[in-house]
Amino acid sequence: MEIDPHTLQQIIERIYQQMRCPQCSSRVPVDFSSVRVVASDAMLLQLKCDSCGAFIVLHASLQGAKFDHEHAVHGTQNFSTQLNLAEGEVHMLHHALQECGGSFEKLFQTYGAKDVAES
């Protein structure tokens, strides 16, 4: 299973909602820096309780996790992890980059100012 950053964030949020310190029952902070290993079917996290200072090693199985890829395609899309362009737009962008010698800076100077002014 390939895990994109958006899906990884959703998994971390679920763990945070359910994770309590086994020693003092306080909520334990969980973030990207807690993740040590991500495999195709599991994650290994190292956590530290802010209240009592206990270190926790958590093995999270991803086998039963269901990710709604259909919703991601048709519903709210995370544009930071995938580029969603029509084929014609890709050809137009490719042609514009060729005209600008492959420079995005020149591309934005050439096409960006006109489009912003017209909007």
Output the six-digit token pair for 64. 């039963």
**Is the Cα torsion angle 83, 89, 95, 101 positive or negative in sign?**
negative
- Residues 6 or more apart whose Cβ sits within 8 Å of residue 6: 72, 78, 80, 81
Tens-of-pLDDT digits for all 119 residues of the chain?
A: 466 778 888 888 989 999 999 999 999 999 888 888 887 778 889 999 999 999 999 988 877 655 544 444 444 444 444 555 677 777 787 788 788 887 777 777 777 655 444 54
* Contact partners, residue 38, CB within 8 Å, separation at least 6: 3, 8
Buried residues in 31-65 as b, exposed as e (16+ CB within 10 A):
eeebbeeeeeeebebebebeeeeeebebebebeee
- Give me the pLDDT at residue 119, please: 43
Q: Provide the edge-to-edge strand list for the sheet that holds 42-48.
A: 35-38, 42-48, 55-61
Model's pTM, two decimal places?
0.51
Q: Tell the residue number behind the tokens 């420079």, with chain if given.
A: 103
